[in-house]
Structure 1
Amino acid sequence: MRIRKAETADKAAIWKILEPMIREGETFPLPRNMTEWEALEYWFGKGASVFVAEEEGDILGTYHLTPNQPGGGSHVANGGYVTAPHARGRGIARAMCLHSFDMARTLGYRAMQYNLVVSTNKAAVHLWQDCGMELIGRLPGAFHHPQEGDVDAFVMYRTL
């Protein structure tokens, strides 16, 4: 597997990864009825650096880095990661997370912050902590989970 910068030709494969996550509505605070165009505009939005994990031409996952805030907060990166359903459990998210730390440093960021890690996404919470992210805050009821109702979300952070 290799991780590389996404190209325009990857957009269809990235949509195939983003769409199930968006429709499930369990891990990202995105509208579940988002269109392909809206999702790709979000993922490739202003200031975003987008990457894909691929193996033999199969896109297994994608992540993006953006400034967490403009101006005085732009030295802190924000990351979003999605693994293709058929590739889950293979260490793709871990590889993308660690790769993103290196890329963030290369891009001049000095820290990484995840603003809304859904508490019910226990695998992600554990993985991010295992990769060095620290849980620095709990946002009570900040995420409306389609099955669980309002659940807590976490803010996670680490210096690079």
Structure 2
Amino acid sequence: MIIREAQPGDWPQILPFFRAIVEDGETYAYPEDLTDDEAERLWMGQHRVVVAVDDDGRVLGSATMGPNRPGRGSHVATGSFMVDPAATGGGVGRALGRHVIEWATASGYEAIQFNAVVETNARAVQLWQSLGFRVVGTVPKAFRSRRHGLVALYVMWLPLQKRGLAL
């Protein structure tokens, strides 16, 4: 598997798993009625977008990354991740997560903040914690899970090394 910058030609491979994940209703609060063009602008229009591809060039997952907030919040990065359900459990999410951490560190960000990790998304919570993120806030009943009803969203945070000092 390699991780590379996303190209416009990658979108047709991303769209099916983007739709499946959004329609599943367990991890993203995106509207389900997005047109293909709206979905493409939403995902591919981010600051930086990468894809994880196998040896045959099949897109296994994608991540977006950039500043969490503009202006005075731009020293903190954020990211979003989607892995093709057919590739779940193959290390794609971990590879994309490590890539975002390396990118944010090399780009001079002081931390990474995820604003909305669904509490019932145990795989994601466990993955981010294994990569050093910690839950720094909980917003009760902020996400309407298709299977669990109203559940919390976690704010997760990872300080990054900068100028040799741990933040």
TM range (shorter): over 0.9
**Structure-1 residue corresponding to 2:164:** none
**Structure-1 residue corresponding to 2:52:** 53
1:84 Cα deviation after fit: 0.5
TM-score w.r.t. the length of structure 1 is: 0.95
* Partners of 1:22 and 1:34 within 8 A in 2: no
For 2:20 and 2:107, locate their aligned partners in 1 and report how far apart those are by CA, in whole Å. Answer: 30
Q: What is the CA deviation profile of residues 92-120 of structure 1, one whole-angstrom value per residue up to 9, with x for unaligned ones?
A: 10110001111122333221100000011
**Structure-2 residue corresponding to 1:43:** 43
For 2:25 and 2:35, locate their aligned partners in 1 and report how far apart those are by CA, in whole Å. Answer: 14
What is the count of residue pairs matched by the alignment?
A: 159
Letter in 2 for 1:32: E
Structure number with larger C-alpha Rg:
2
1:44 Cα deviation after fit: 2.2
For 2:150 and 2:35, locate their aligned partners in 1 and report how far apart those are by CA, in whole Å. Answer: 24
Percent identity (aligned): 40
* Partners of 1:138 and 1:153 within 8 A in 2: yes
Q: Alpha carbon RMSD of aligned pairs, Å?
A: 1.1
**Structure-2 residue corresponding to 1:88:** 88
TM-score w.r.t. the length of structure 2 is: 0.91
Q: What is the CA deviation profile of residues 12-68 of structure 1, one whole-angstrom value per residue up to 9, with x for unaligned ones?
A: 11212211111112101111222221111111225x200000012110000000211
SS of 2:93's partner is helix
* Partners of 1:141 and 1:152 within 8 A in 2: yes
SS of 1:40's partner is helix
Structure 1: which 5+ residue stretches go unaligned?
none
